């Protein structure tokens, strides 16, 4: 079975770039290229973004039930496609970085004592922020050692 995955962001960018009249706002501007902005422009309503099911339902509505009337050809040709093997490699990378990130955050909150929000001693906050900055730099370096998502 030949399975492919697609990223709708490239499709959204192309739709905005082409300035389709259906995407124009009353003031002559166009929405941002994120799904929430497109959905709001097309349907004059919002949805619970970053909830997996709601994201999928909103995407389905944008692609197949909107005034854009997109053909399958337009959708396929303007979406960034990848085969299942590449998609699984990206998923594996994301899962590994998620595990590292969660472990590092746990370490961060257990090792660093954040000063009281009422503290008026700037040196305490400076010291805390320096430790967090150094930690973030080391985490970034560790993640850059991994394969970047393409």
Strand ranges for 1-150 from DSSP E:
4-7, 80-83
d(CA 87, CA 126): 42
- For the chain, give the percent of residues with pLDDT over 90: 41
Which pTM value belongs to this model? 0.60
pLDDT of residue 26: 85
Give the largest CA-CA distance in the chain.
64
**How large is the average pLDDT for residues 40-50?**
93
Report the chain's mean pLDDT, rounded to a whole number. Answer: 82
d(CA 59, CA 81): 16
**pLDDT confidence bin for 109, thresholds 50/70/90:** low
Domain boundary assignment for the chain: 4-78, 84-144
d(CA 48, CA 67): 21
pLDDT per position as a tens digit, 68-93: 999 989 998 999 888 888 888 888 88
Q: Comparing C-alpha atoms, which of 74, 96, 94 is closest to residue 6?
A: 74
């Amino acid at each position: 079975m030949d399975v492919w995955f697609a990223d709708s962001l490239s499709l959204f960018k192309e739709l905005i770039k082409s300035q389709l009249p259906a995407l124009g706002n009353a003031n002559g501007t166009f929405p941002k290229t994120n799904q929430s902005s497109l959905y709001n422009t097309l349907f004059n309503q919002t949805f619970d973004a970053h909830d997996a099911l709601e994201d999928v339902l909103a995407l389905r509505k944008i692609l197949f039930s909107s005034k854009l009337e997109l053909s399958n050809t337009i959708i396929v040709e303007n979406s960034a496609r990848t085969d299942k093997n590449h998609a699984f490699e990206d998923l594996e990378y994301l899962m590994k970085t998620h595990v590292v990130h969660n472990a590092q955050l746990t370490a961060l909150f257990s090792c660093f004592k954040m000063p009281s929000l009422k503290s008026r001693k700037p040196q305490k906050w400076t010291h805390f922020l320096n430790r967090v900055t150094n930690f973030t730099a080391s985490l970034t370096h560790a993640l850059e050692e991994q394969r970047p998502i393409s």
